[in-house]
Structure 1
Amino acid sequence: MFAEAAAAPQVVARQLESRDQRRRIGERLRRTPPTLVVTCARGSSDHAATFAKYLIETRTGVPTASAAPSTTSVYEARPRLEGALCIAISQSGKSPDLLASVEAAREAGAFVIVLVNDTGSPLAALADEVVPLCAGPERSVAATKSYIASLAAITGLVADWAEDEALAGAIDDAPRLLERAWDLDWSPVVDLLRDRTSLYTIGRGVALGVAQEAALKLKETCGLHAEAFSAAEVRHGPMAIVGADFPILVFRQRDRTAQGVLALVEELASRGARVAVPGDAPGGAIALPCLESHPALQPILQIQSFYRAANALSLARGFDPDRPPHLSKVTETL
């Protein structure tokens, strides 16, 4: 896990060699704009799809929703997707329910883009466009570099689709910034969570998918019960169990969500919760180092810093981060 997460900058650098494909896809999406975007993914890839939802909707205005694979693989429903874009995200490209969902989307008239690490997989064979994640072999059960590769690929595609030069420039700079993010000291997260049993992870907008990914990694590698919430939703019920010393890990970016997330951090800290947050922290909160960059890139850099801390936390809690109990690398959900 440690070595693979550390390799993320090189993975993204390899991706950036395929700019011509990105531009071609972007031109196609502008020429024939989709009426709807449907994402298909499981696990960490589905958290990348959450990131994609916010980025696509805010940059292009096209409604984006996550498909429930079981509606086709189990219930045999036939979606109506004429004129839609289907984006499937996977490391292995082998899960049967994902294959059934994407095949149904293609048969229903959707234009299918597959983001996949194994370009020879059955999922890749269903695509109109295959976007290689370029992560190479990933042996750790807990996905790291392939998750960051998914976020980078999504960001690049949306940048070219929306003709957003600032976003395109940010993803071009991502390899350099990911290297710096890996070296940041997030050991306060280890100190905060070493002896805990549960926590919340929080994000909003593009950071929500990163908060979901962090919660999954804390379950997989550290044996912690971690739940992810939107900063806009945590007050609707989950706040009831937040009291003194309750641990919370926040991810954030400097966009229109910033003020609301800061207000939430201040409220949580005032209740005595132990809140760790990247960047400037209000009184009582734990400040984690972070890098200034484009708002869409900030959560990607933060999850890179988190991965190093999660690996250290797993070892500190007596776990083997490379061999989570009861899990395998490819989950073949029916």
Structure 2
Amino acid sequence: MTSHTTNAPGRHMTAEIAEQPVLFDNLVRRAAEIAAIAEQINRRKPRFVLLAARGSSDHAALYAKYLIEVLLQLPAGLVSASTTTLYGAQPDLTDVLLITVSQSGGSPDLVEVTESARRRGALTVAVTNTSDSPLNQVAELSVDVGAGKELAVAATKTYSTTLLALYLLVDAIRGGKAESALEIGSLAQSTLDGSEVAVAEAVQRYRFVERILATGRGYSYASAAEAALKLAETSYLAARAYSGADLLHGPVAAVDGETAVLAVTSAGKGGEAMREVLEVVRGRGADVCAVGSASADVAAALRIDVPVCAEELSPVLEILPLQRLALGLALARGGDPDSPRGLLKVTKTR
């Protein structure tokens, strides 16, 4: 995709995208370690799950919300950190599981939310890539996603390994043995190898576009949100993400022949639900690029195929070509996705 020359733009992001299949294999080999955390969670018998996160990690938390509600049949919600940090809310969190997702584990608001929730009775679990972070110090339990140091500002390997770690955790809570994830490393390598030509075509097709809309349903909604963020932060595009259902409730009115649409659609109920959405979008003249294992089954001008896996694991694979697309577009537009303007690797908010 691009040169590994010492000072080549995007060299870190390129290398970190390529690392992911090996990192997935390493993480699956640690499934027993994650299952031990799940066992402690099961002992507490949580009745509700809250998820706290920011940025890319917020999209991983959105993915976890679907996992928890569908696979565990537990209600789950995303925390608004400011209710604690700015407004001082102190709800009773007895029998609540709080999972805080942060690749750095260093954002003060997430640390404060976790510390406060633990005082108020919640079982707190940190999912991070930094085992000695402040977040790990205040959480009762922790899961290390094991991505290693990430040099590019745009999160790639830390995002995908967080998805896989969350899947392994939820799967273990429901009594699974990571069976569906055993081949995820080889499937990831097949995804990267098999999508390279189509991604390059998409880069050429969209290099001059100024407006991109990403959409997906079910588990894949998180992938659409993450794709939009990656495009915004690396290529400075006006990129927005909507669930396929929400798209038809109003935003579709803004879709026209000048709109590029990234449709994340993988085999399963979420992908099936996207068919009608994309028929409407195509009918409004939008240029649709379908990404995922069900890309051949929907109306699209361009397709980026992804191998079939269990639907609940599809975001781990479908995000890979979307990361490559963000990388390629940033380079084609003259940018360096390793260090986008105005961004730092760790963003500290309150």
Q: TM-score range by the shorter chain?
A: over 0.9
1:265–1:285 CA contact under 8 A, matched in 2: no
Gaps of 5+ in 1: none
Q: Which residue of 1 aligns with 2:302?
A: 286
Aligned position for 2:248 = 235
Q: Which residue of 1 aligns with 2:59?
A: 47
How far off is 1:159 after superposition? 1.0
Q: Tell me which moved more, 45-54 or 77-86.
A: 77-86
SS at match of 1:323: coil
> For residue 242 of structure 1, what is the amino acid of its counterpart?
V
Q: Which residue of 1 aligns with 2:10?
A: none
Q: C-alpha separation between the residues in 1 aligned to 2:156 and 2:147?
A: 10
CA contact (8 A) 2:233 2:340 kept: yes
Partner residue, 1:301: 317
TM-score (norm 1): 0.95
Instruction: Determine helix, strand or coil for the equivalent of 2:312.
Output: coil
Provide the residue aligned with 2:189 in structure 1: 179
Deviations along 1:199-227, one digit per CA (max 9) or x if unpaired, are 11001111111111100000010110100
Out of 228, 231, 247, the position equivalent to 2:260 is 247
State the identity %: 36
1:10-49 residue pairs with structure 2 within 5 A? 10-49=22-61
Q: Which residue of 2 is the match for residue 69 of structure 1?
A: 81
Deviates more, 1:215-224 or 1:174-183: 174-183
Aligned to 1:196: 209
1:4-37: CA deviation from partner (whole Å, max 9, x where unpaired)? 1111122222222322222223333334321110
For residues 206 and 286 of structure 1, the distance between their equivalents in structure 2, rounded to whole angstroms, comes to 22
Tell me how far apart the structure 2 counterparts of residues 288 and 264 of structure 1 sit (CA, whole Å).
Answer: 18
Q: CA 1:70–1:146 in structure 2 vs 1: closer, same or farther (change >3 Å)?
A: same
So what's the TM-score if we normalise by structure 2?
Answer: 0.91
For 1:332 and 1:17, the matched residues in 2 are separated by 32
Does the 8 Å contact 1:15/1:132 carry over to 2?
Answer: no
Coordinate RMSD, CA, aligned: 1.4
Distance 1:284 1:78, change over 3 A: closer
1:133-171 per-position Cα deviation (integer Å, ceiling 9, x unaligned): 101111111000000011000110111111245xx2222
AA aligned to 2:171 is: A
Q: How many residues align?
A: 332
Of residues 217-226 and 263-272 in structure 1, the stretch that sits farther from structure 2 once superposed is 263-272
Q: Which residue of 2 aligns with 1:170?
A: 180
* Mapping of residues 109-124 of structure 1, within 5 Å: 109-124=121-136
**Does 259-268 or 195-204 show the bigger shift?**
259-268
- Say whether 1:212 aligns with 2:222: no
Cα-to-partner distance string for 1:78-136 (whole Å, 9 max, x where unaligned): 13211100101111111111111111111111111111111001100112211111011
What's the counterpart of residue 3 of structure 1?
Answer: 15
Unaligned runs of 5+ in 2: 1-12
Which residue of 79, 82, 88 maps to 2:100?
88
Contact 2:278 2:299 in 1 (8 A): no
Amino acid across the alignment from 1:315: L
- The residue number in structure 1 matching 2:9 is none
Amino acid at match of 1:173: E
Mapped to 1, the partners of 2:285 and 2:64 lie a distance apart of 34
